[in-house]
């Protein structure tokens, strides 16, 4: 079969707040071929992502992403890899290309899995999917007291692992941060995994990060995530070697395989976090998972939005038994919840497993999304090159 159409949908909550929550809008991708359709999601601002698919050619290495996708064959996994290679060859200078390709690649795997009657993880070469321990991914409270309350609630909800991130952390004194860390630990109890996410707030400042290491060690933080900007290889390496030792996690900002490979080689990470909605899709994420296993670095998914994105993020390491931690969004906006009819829910042991069903194993519920669709057009010289497609 050949790719017949690729549709992009710009979805948005009625009100978007100035907070670190990427579930307030969404870029959904629908690919159709052979009477079937697959769905993907880009972790990227919708309008520039859509524009990268339809924009006019600037030169031979700056063509729209559509040039490498439309009309291409889709019958086996190698076809998806060839599509990615073609996009990279012809959209090399289009910096949004990998973000746009991410949702397309995910949708292609979903579609191919449906055609072949196999879950995506089996198409990737895994024989089975292993259970993962989800960590409740959420924002810090505005005060240590609110952080404590959120931790207590997460514990009561059965989560054995919790990550707090963003919010006020890293923007005040080391003492204020330490109070939040203690509040999180006290609310969770001593035996739960506690992860701390700084959201790149310190840029490349190793000294300010070192001021927090003792407090992180005191609360037995499982990892410190993204203290620095993506690809700050030197600062990551220096902090990783600082005392007291706290293992570092990063990689969600990598928007192609080469960046992730550099982080694996030079950042001294304990954990590599990959977002299939950013790095170019499931295809490059699987390469990173393979590399991480070879280097003894733990692979972790990154996702903060829908269960469509969650399923896609789990596929690249679903069959890796040793890597058991996974990110699990617990505070998504209603838009993210409404994207799929079925959800990937923790079982009686508090673990989740990727669906054992064709494709990604989750179904997009179109009727529920109509109220979120943003009606948009892109015109060039009076010609209409994009219009919101019909749901």
**In the chain, where does DSSP find H-type helix?**
46-54, 77-90, 97-116, 120-123, 144-156, 174-188, 206-210, 213-218, 233-240, 257-266, 282-295, 307-314, 334-338, 366-369
Q: Using one digit for the tens of pLDDT, what is the confidence trace for 128-179?
A: 999 999 998 888 999 999 999 999 999 998 889 999 998 898 888 999 999 9
Please tell me whether residue 249 adopts helix, strand or coil conformation: strand
CA–CA separation, 308 and 303 (whole Å): 10
Q: What average pLDDT score do residues 288-297 get?
A: 98
Q: Using one digit for the tens of pLDDT, what is the confidence trace for 344-360?
A: 999 988 899 999 999 99
**Among 130, 119, 117, 31, residue whose Cα is nearest residue 360:** 119
Please tell me whether residue 248 adopts helix, strand or coil conformation: strand
Look over the chain and give the mean of its residue pLDDT values, rounded to a whole number.
95
- What is the Cα gyration radius of the chain? 21
Q: Tell me the pLDDT band of 293, cut-offs 50, 70 and 90.
A: very high
Helix H or strand E segment including 41: strand 36-42
- Supply the pLDDT for residue 204: 95
Contacts of 47 (CB under 8 A, 6+ apart): 10, 376
Do 248 and 273 contact (CB within 8 A), yes or no?
Answer: no
């Amino acid at each position: 079969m050949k790719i017949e159409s690729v549709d992009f949908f710009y979805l948005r909550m009625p009100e978007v707040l100035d907070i670190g929550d990427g579930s307030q809008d969404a870029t959904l991708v629908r690919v159709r071929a052979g009477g079937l359709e697959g769905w993907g999601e880009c972790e990227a601002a919708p309008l520039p992502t859509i524009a990268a698919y339809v924009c006019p050619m600037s030169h031979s290495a700056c063509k729209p992403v559509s040039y490498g996708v439309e009309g291409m064959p889709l019958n086996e996994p190698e076809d998806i890899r060839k599509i990615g290679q073609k996009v990279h060859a012809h959209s090399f200078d289009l910096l949004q290309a990998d973000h746009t390709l991410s949702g397309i690649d995910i949708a292609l795997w979903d579609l191919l899995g449906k055609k072949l009657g196999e879950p995506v993880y089996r198409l990737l070469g895994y024989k089975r999917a292993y259970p993962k321990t989800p960590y409740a991914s959420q924002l810090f409270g505005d005060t240590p007291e609110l952080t404590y309350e959120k931790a207590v609630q997460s514990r009561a909800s059965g989560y054995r692992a919790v990550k707090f991130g963003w919010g006020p952390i890293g923007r005040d004194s080391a003492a204020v941060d330490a109070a939040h860390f203690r509040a999180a630990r006290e609310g969770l109890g001593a035996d739960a995994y506690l992860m701390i996410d700084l959201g790149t707030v310190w840029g490349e400042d190793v000294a300010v990060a070192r001021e927090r290491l003792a407090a992180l060690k005191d609360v037995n933080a499982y990892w410190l995530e993204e203290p620095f900007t993506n690809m700050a290889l030197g600062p990551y390496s220096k902090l990783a070697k600082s005392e007291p030792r706290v293992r570092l996690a990063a990689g969600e900002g990598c928007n192609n395989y080469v960046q992730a490979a550099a982080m694996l080689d030079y950042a001294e990470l304990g954990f590599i976090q990959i977002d299939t909605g950013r790095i170019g899709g499931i295809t490059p994420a699987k390469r990173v998972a393979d590399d991480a296993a070879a280097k003894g670095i733990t692979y972790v998914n990154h996702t903060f939005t829908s269960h469509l994105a969650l399923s896609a993020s789990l596929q690249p390491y679903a069959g890796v038994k040793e890597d058991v931690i996974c990110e699990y969004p617990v505070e998504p906006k209603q838009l993210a919840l409404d994207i799929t009819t079925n959800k990937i829910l923790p079982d009686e042991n508090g673990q989740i497993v990727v669906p054992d069903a064709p494709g990604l194993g989750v179904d997009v519920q179109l009727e529920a999304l109509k109220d979120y669709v943003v009606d948009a057009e892109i015109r060039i010289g009076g010609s209409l090159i994009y219009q919101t497609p019909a749901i």
